[in-house]
Chains A and B, each alone.
Chain A
Amino acid sequence: DGGITQSPKYLFRKEGQNVTLSCEQNLNHDAMYWYRQDPGQGLRLIYYSQIVNDFQKGDIAEGYSVSREKKESFPLTVTSAQKNPTAFYLCASSTVGRETQYFGPGTRLLVL
């Protein structure tokens, strides 16, 4: 089955720790995105990538980093510089152009 997978489903971060969220897709999509969802707020774009080895900052990139070494994979690292990381993180992918974005199941990040 084609789709987007995210792991882990739940992730716990300690103070000063960097953590990495995984996102993989087998839809052959060129573009991938990371969004953050907080209660009572709309989804906000963290980073996006339209091609391998290239990515751009979204609206709230501070405290986050990404890489795009393979077309299928777009991992997100939440660094210790992100002071309020508790949120639901969603990965999405699409073909480049005026196309729908499809979402993964999400990772919930909690701070210990």
Chain B
Amino acid sequence: EDQVTQSPEALRLQEGESSSLNCSYTVSGLRGLFWYRQDPGKGPEFLFTLYSAGEEKEKERLKATLTKKESFLHITAPKPEDSATYLCAVQGETQGGSEKLVFGKGMKLTVNP
């Protein structure tokens, strides 16, 4: 069974204090790993898709990396507006045609000014 574990569950940073969020996964044949940002009471907003080990993607202060067992979301010099819950999800080899994503529980980031 595909599984995703995110750590830490919550993280508090001071503005400008860089850090990394971890997403560990077990999946039978990775087809894609996805990062989303979710603000309270809203739907997840897509950030990145990573397909193979060694791949990296960047967007503003965020950088996502992928190995065969985990992904990291690096946040450089965060600002208070980066405060949100960050979700990680994997898509494994399809079973009966499903495009199902398996999600972790999320990581709540708070950036204090």
Contacts and interface: CB of A to CB of B under 8 A. Distances in A.
Interface stretch (B54-62, B64-72, B91-99): B91-99
Contacts of A25: none
Interface size, B (range) = 20 to 34
B97 A102 contact: no
B12 interface: no
Contacts of B97: 50, 56
A108 B45 CA distance: 17
Given A40-B105, A50-B99, A98 B32 contact: yes
Contacts of B105: 40-42
Interface of A: 4, 6, 31, 33, 40-45, 48, 50, 56, 58, 88, 90, 94, 96-106, 108
Given A90-B44, A100-B46, 11 more contacts: A4-B43, A6-B43, A41-B105, A42-B87, A42-B105, A48-B100, A56-B96, A58-B100, A96-B99, A102-B46, A103-B45
